[in-house]
């Protein structure tokens, strides 16, 4: 019996790796939507602490959609995150949980402004601008998570 060429195994490894990435990002999106839905249901029921807990899990799962990498898709992802933060803030206020999200909203706005300026061809939309806006968003996420852990 003849041997299988080495290139076959390389291609097979790449296919398995790509399939793994698709499953990872797809399941992350699924879990994000599931936790967000649980939070909305708990908010509707008036169980504010459960809503904040579910929204916290959803926020931790949120990330840019890796499958569709366009400015419009990124803006939709930011809209989802902003909606999630709004719902989390409403649940926290109704449940008497101290939560400050102003810096988070400003960071979302900075990343959104980057994508809008990139789409219009603005020369200020550089990698450095993106890095600054994205790091600001990551800092705001970290601050929010610390606030939630403290409550």
Q: Where are the domains of the chain?
A: 6-150
**Band of residue 5 on the pLDDT scale cut at 50, 70, 90:** confident
- Considering only CA atoms, which of 67, 93, 62 is closest in space to residue 80? 62
**Average pLDDT of the residues in 103-114:** 92
pTM for the model: 0.81
- Does an H or E element contain 145, and which? helix 127-150
Assign residue 62 a region: left if phi > 0, alpha if psi is -120 to 50, beta otherwise? beta
What percent of the chain is predicted at pLDDT more than 70?
Answer: 94
Q: How confident is the model at residue 1 (pLDDT cuts 50, 70, 90)?
A: very low
The predicted pLDDT at position 22 comes to: 87
Tens of pLDDT, residue by residue over 60-101, are 999 877 667 777 888 889 999 999 999 999 999 999 988 999
Q: What are phi and psi of 119, to 5 degrees?
A: -65, -35
- From 68-77, 103-112, 116-125, the region with the lowest mean pLDDT: 116-125
**Residues 13-23: tens digit of each pLDDT:** 999 999 998 88
């Amino acid at each position: 019996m003849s041997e299988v060429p080495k290139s076959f195994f390389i291609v097979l490894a790449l296919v398995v790796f790509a399939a793994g990435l698709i499953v990872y990002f797809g399941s992350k999106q699924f879990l994000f939507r599931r936790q967000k839905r649980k939070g909305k249901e708990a908010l509707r029921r008036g169980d504010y602490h459960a809503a904040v807990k579910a929204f916290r899990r959803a926020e931790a799962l949120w990330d840019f959609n890796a499958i569709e990498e366009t400015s419009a898709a990124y803006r939709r992802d930011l809209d989802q995150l902003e909606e999630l933060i709004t719902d989390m803030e409403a649940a926290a206020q109704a449940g008497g949980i101290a939560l400050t999200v102003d810096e988070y909203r400003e960071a979302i706005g900075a990343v959104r402004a980057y994508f809008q300026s990139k789409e219009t061809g603005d020369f200020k939309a550089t990698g450095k601008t993106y890095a600054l806006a994205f790091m600001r968003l990551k800092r705001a996420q970290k601050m929010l998570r610390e606030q939630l852990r403290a409550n």
